[in-house]
Amino acid sequence: MNTVTPTDFDLSFLDEGFSARDIVEQKINESSMTDDRDAFYVCDLGDVVKKHLRWARALPRVRPFYAVKCNDSRAVVMTLATLGTGFDCASKTEIQLVQSLGVDPSRIIYANPCKQVSQIKYASAHGVQMMTFDSEVELMKVARCHDNAKLVLRIATDDSKAVCRLSVKFGAPLKACRGLLERAKELGLDVIGVSFHVGSGCTDPETYTQAIADARCVFDTGAELGFNMDLLDIGGGFPGSDNTELKFEEITGVINPALDKYFPVDCGVNIIAEPGRFYVASAYTLVVNIIAKKVIMDEEFASDEEDEGTSDRTLMYYVNDGVYGSFNCILYDHAHCLPTLHKKPKPDEVMYPCSIWGPTCDGLDRIVEQCSLPDMQVGDWLVFENMGAYTVAAASTFNGFQRPDIHYVMSRPTW
């Protein structure tokens, strides 16, 4: 294994036959020889590359614009920039990050329908033209602050089948779209397309079909009003791991026919999407250490000391990352995080009902309400997989607990 340092992060190229899980084991062994035993991540950038290839196979007509908000790690953004993706940015800071890596502004969509005036001016000054809107007020702000904006009308969708719903906050209803397009025409603004987002964790892929059909209606209205609309943005929300109820290819199996029906290949419309978790969720593995433990005896079994095979107790494990850190995804992304054991349990090992708690002083800092784990000790490790989406990006340092270090790896054949 060789380590290089491209700008501000360490990247280890794995020898053939080694995996990211081997690095997890190596880092655990190294940390176990010290008193620190801090939580840490291992990020496999090779997994990000593989996801890019998977996207190209499953959605050949759709160019991905990575949603930076999902995980703004410089290493991830740099990898995707090298692969040629576009970028969905929601703020000045995200635009700065992407452009600091040499990404051309034509590869950026400012996909926030409610933007601060100063940040619209920043986008204008730095050549970022594509941006979304869903209200007349936003149109008027853009008309005052951006001379060359290429606007994308975000429409509301039925996101009732999604885990994280967005249409309650963003998106113009269909009945309002003609009026908004007419107002844009009056203001001399250029509307180049339509966007939507069916919400994250959507359990009904047919939602995409209806949203694409609705977008077609708005395109037709735009054409009537004299707009040359040539961009369709189908949003994000695609699953980032294969342990979800609805698999990625099941969703794309519905999207592709809908695109072919409403936006045929020869119609002159470019199609993009805003995947975030799809690219990064499975690339990150989080490793935490047990820093404290409580044993709660069940009174019903408390006097039966001879029956060691009975779950006569509940165990509370406290670890060195929590909902104010990496596990903020539990609060904000409705994630359900379950650990795997670092040490494989014995076949006859007793499993106990357990809860897992973060390190802060807040009683709400609970990671897992109930699961089954063996009787472990302070200093033992727990591993959480699929931890790349909406984790590191929103982690805080509440109570003075620092964000975990990230160790980046990539196999040579992948690169």
- Residue 382 tokens, joined: 């727990």
Q: Is 361 a catalytic residue?
A: yes
- CA–CA distance, 259 with 212 (Å, rounded to integer): 7
Instruction: Residue 164: count other Cβ atoms within 10 Å of its Cβ.
Output: 16
- CA–CA distance, 239 with 203 (Å, rounded to integer): 10
What is the widest separation between alpha-carbon atoms in the chain? Answer: 84
Helical segments of 108-203, H only: 117-125, 136-145, 174-186
114, 217, 329, 361: which one is catalytic?
A: 361
Under 8 Å between Cβ of 42 and 20: yes
Under 8 Å between Cβ of 133 and 152: yes
Tokens 């908000």 — which residue?
69
Q: Give the burial string for 69-108 (b: 16+ CB within 10 Å, else e).
A: bbbbbebbbbbbbebebbbbbbbbebbebbbeeebebebb
Under 8 Å between Cβ of 349 and 374: yes
Return the active site residues: 361
